Amino acid sequence: MKFTLPIILVAVTAGLMTLALFGAGHSSGTVGIAAGSAVFSTKASTPEQGLNNLLADVQRRNWDRAYSALSTTSAGDRQSFIQDWTGSDGSLRSFSSLEGFQARPLHATNDDAQMRVRLHWTTPVGPIEDVRDFHLIREGGTWKVAWPKMQISSVPAQIIPVTYLRWDLVSGSGSDEWGSKNVDAPHVRIISMNAVDSAEGAVVMGEVVNEDTIPAFVNVNAALVDGAGKAIDDESSFDKIDHVLLPKQVTPYRIDFPNINLKNVKNVRMDVKATLVPASADPVIGVMNQKVVSDVQGKSILQGDLMNESGQTVNIPHVIASFYDNNGKVIWVSDGYVNRALLPQSGQPFAVEIPKSLAGKVQSFHVVVNQYSLVRS
């Protein structure tokens, strides 16, 4: 009797493990949502298994098997296929790895299927979700992904003349005497502030301008204060701001207070800190074709194209957008990292999300681009 319970537990555990290993891969005919890390099946008898196999190989970086298992109708070459998954030019994708996915069919016939996949990436800037559609074809009884021809940015060899402009910070080599180092900190000003409740907590946002004639490194801090004058929490804008502001430049900022409701907040104490910083006026990045549209999932997004107008590669572009209502008040600040590097004189699409509840109120927007370049750092 005393061995009955352990035997049952071992048997149930073994059964669950077997089910986990083979059950998911063999659920033929299921048209549902596949999720989690991919497990390879020897033969893909369903579109889900075909997609699963590809993503399993991508996760393991088994490029030979992944590429050879693509449909014969695939258009891209092996190099562009690999580059599409691994990134290049020091882009964010090249520092990311595919952690998991969720797939759901859009439509399926006997011989072809369309699957929509949410790809979950781990990246140095936090988890990023990517939505992508895959076309699968049944070839000889096996479902395979038909890989489309990818547009990989390439830049012809060229000379781009740049009028170089930068500011260096000289701390002074003289004595450390009182008053001898009279370089004032840059003058920056918070030009707008708005506090709202969101699904994740309280959000304080707005815009800051550098009113000075020199670049400034800017950080905005906010403290939420209750009715008794006691600080509830204080946070900084962290990466939801363009930290280096050139003269007269404006940046949005957003400060998140997770799990805090504004009904408990009596006052918000704002503090903007600006310090002198060496900076360069390049690269200049244009933000083209900005439009608020609905994406394939029905979400409101601001999309457009970034255009690198300089001769320097921007490895990780970061887009920050402020959205205004019809009174010109900032009602939301969104940001997003672009997976691909922005090569000189070339473009990359971007999109940032607008919360559903605010989409109808957005009258205009302002986009700034923060850039991280390996050469500079």
Spatial distance between the Cα atoms of 97 and 181, rounded to a whole number of angstroms: 48
Q: How far is CA 165 from the centre of its chain?
A: 30
- Token pair for residue 303? 């999309």
Choice between 18 and 289, CB closer to another protein: 289
Spatial distance between the Cα atoms of 208 and 189, rounded to a whole number of angstroms: 6
286 near another protein, rule: CB under 8 A: yes
Let me know: does 221 contact 239? Beta carbons within 8 Å.
no
Measured from the CB of residue 33, what is the shortest distance to another protein in angstroms?
34
Measured from the CB of residue 276, what is the shortest distance to another protein in angstroms?
10
Choice between 155 and 281, CB closer to another protein: 281
Measured from the CB of residue 370, what is the shortest distance to another protein in angstroms?
12
- Token pair for residue 207? 């815009």
Spatial distance between the Cα atoms of 348 and 91, rounded to a whole number of angstroms: 12
Spatial distance between the Cα atoms of 44 and 28, rounded to a whole number of angstroms: 9
Measured from the CB of residue 293, what is the shortest distance to another protein in angstroms?
9
Measured from the CB of residue 183, what is the shortest distance to another protein in angstroms?
5
Which x/- pattern, by CB under 8 A, does the window 100-139 give for another protein? ----------------------------------------
267 near another protein, rule: CB under 8 A: no
Measured from the CB of residue 182, what is the shortest distance to another protein in angstroms?
5
**Coil, strand or helix at 64:** helix
Q: Which stretch binds another protein (CB under 8 A): 22-30, 49-57, 252-260, 286-294?
A: 286-294
Of 14, 127, 90, 118, the C-alpha closest to 316 is 90
DSSP state of 233: E
Measured from the CB of residue 326, what is the shortest distance to another protein in angstroms?
17
Q: CA distances (Å), 39 to each of 49, 51, 159, in order?
A: 9, 10, 48
Q: Which of 287, 351, 358, 359 binds another protein (CB under 8 A)?
A: 287
63 near another protein, rule: CB under 8 A: no
Measured from the CB of residue 220, what is the shortest distance to another protein in angstroms?
16
Q: CA distances (Å), 296 to each of 47, 145, 148, 273, 332, in order?
A: 21, 20, 18, 40, 22
Which x/- pattern, by CB under 8 A, does the window 238-257 give for another protein? --------xxxx--------
Let me know: does 301 contact 354? Beta carbons within 8 Å.
yes
Find where tokens 């073994």 sit. 14
234 near another protein, rule: CB under 8 A: no
Choice between 120 and 366, CB closer to another protein: 366
- Token pair for residue 144? 């395979």
Site residue total, another protein (CB under 8 A) = 36
Written as one letter, the residue type at 37 is S
Spatial distance between the Cα atoms of 310 and 162, rounded to a whole number of angstroms: 7
Angle, CA 13 vertex, CA 7 and CA 19 arms, to 5°: 135
Measured from the CB of residue 84, what is the shortest distance to another protein in angstroms?
25
Written as one letter, the residue type at 56 is A
Q: Which of residues 149-208 bind another protein (CB under 8 A)?
A: 163, 165, 167, 177-180, 182-184
- Token pair for residue 264? 């408990």
Q: Which of 207, 212, 235, 335 binds another protein (CB under 8 A)?
A: 212
Q: Which stretch binds another protein (CB under 8 A): 32-40, 65-73, 93-101, 210-218?
A: 210-218
Measured from the CB of residue 224, what is the shortest distance to another protein in angstroms?
19
Let me know: does 211 contact 218? Beta carbons within 8 Å.
no
Spatial distance between the Cα atoms of 154 and 344, rounded to a whole number of angstroms: 9
Q: Which of 2, 107, 230, 291 binds another protein (CB under 8 A)?
A: 291
Find where tokens 């547009």 sit. 151
Residue ranges binding another protein (CB under 8 A): 163, 165, 167, 177-180, 182-184, 209, 211-215, 246-249, 281, 284-291, 304-305, 307, 309, 366-368
